Amino acid sequence: MIGIIEDDRLLNQALKLTLEKAGYETMTAHTKKEALSLLGKGEELLLVDIGLPDGDGISLYQELRGRQKTPAIFLTARDEERDMLAAFDIGADDYVVKPFSMKVLLKRIEAVLKRNGEASPLTFRELSLYPAKKQVFMKGQEIRLTAKEYQLLEYLMLNQGQVLTKENILERIWGISGQFVVDNTVSVTVGRLRKKIEPDARQPDYIKNVFGLGYRIGD
């Protein structure tokens, strides 16, 4: 998931369409307030506009980074050294000046994800997930997952120890709150995922049911 924080609605939409066409999932926000409400929940990368109508992207990133360490590429119309230095000082991975080529931006995104994904896999016991490569390994053996199975596992592993409700999962993975999806969509996907990663899917050690609440990986 790539978070896009850009107040220019046309550019925001163009970024969303370009990234989704390239195979990425996206979540978009147009203001600092909206970003703080929607983001900071397991994104692989943030695209952050430095100039926002209700604040600046640098302070926004500092707040989001306090929730989780997510790589970021800053976008700005100002080609000023002080802005670049301020962005890098708080941990930015890259800095792009508008107008920019979407093809070049995609390459920069790919490079940042590769660096961070290779360096920081998500792990739990003998299970490893590499976000940049979209690969999952159990005891060193790669496991083939469908897109939804992968997204569900990544969401659980990004929130280890936390209970994720059916509603959380539907909204994050399917982008809806429950409309147009059969009642057992989540449980069926969890069941299929368990068959692929659990030693015994009938007695799961990895994906636990929390009765009446949802699912969890980790204690």
Q: Residue 180 above 70 pLDDT?
A: no
Q: What is the structure's pLDDT at 10? A: 96
DSSP assigned state of 170 = I
pLDDT of residue 219 exceeding 80, the answer is no
pLDDT at residue 188 is higher than 90: yes
Residues 172/186, Cβ–Cβ less than 8 Å: no
Residue spans of the domains in the chain: they are 2-119, 122-217
Q: Would you say residue 119 has pLDDT above 60?
A: no
For 127-156, how does the pLDDT look when each residue is reduced to its tens digit (9 = 90+)? 988 876 788 999 888 899 999 999 999 999
Instruction: Tell me the HSE value of 66 on the side-chain side, using a 13 A CA sphere.
Output: 6
When pLDDT is cut at 50, 70 and 90, the band that residue 184 belongs to is confident
CATH homologous superfamily for the domain 2-119: Response regulator (3.40.50.2300)
pLDDT digit string (tens) for 54-92? 989 999 998 888 777 789 999 988 767 787 888 888 888
- C-alpha closest to that of 216 among 170, 150, 159, 169: 159
Query: Which residue would you say has higher pLDDT here, 219 or 139?
Result: 139
Hey, what CATH topology would domain 122-217 get?
A: Arc Repressor Mutant, subunit A (1.10.10)
Report the b/e string of 109-141 with b at 16+ CB within 10 A: beebbeebbeeebbebeebbbbbbeebbebeee
pLDDT value, residue 117: 65
Q: State how far the Cα of 122 lies from the Cα of 156, in Å rounded to an integer.
A: 10
C-alpha 16/C-alpha 44 separation (Å) is: 15
- In the chain, beta strands by DSSP E: 2-5, 26-29, 45-49, 51-52, 55-56, 72-76, 94-97, 122-124, 127-130, 135-138, 141-143, 164-165, 207-210, 214-217
Q: Give this prediction's pTM.
A: 0.59
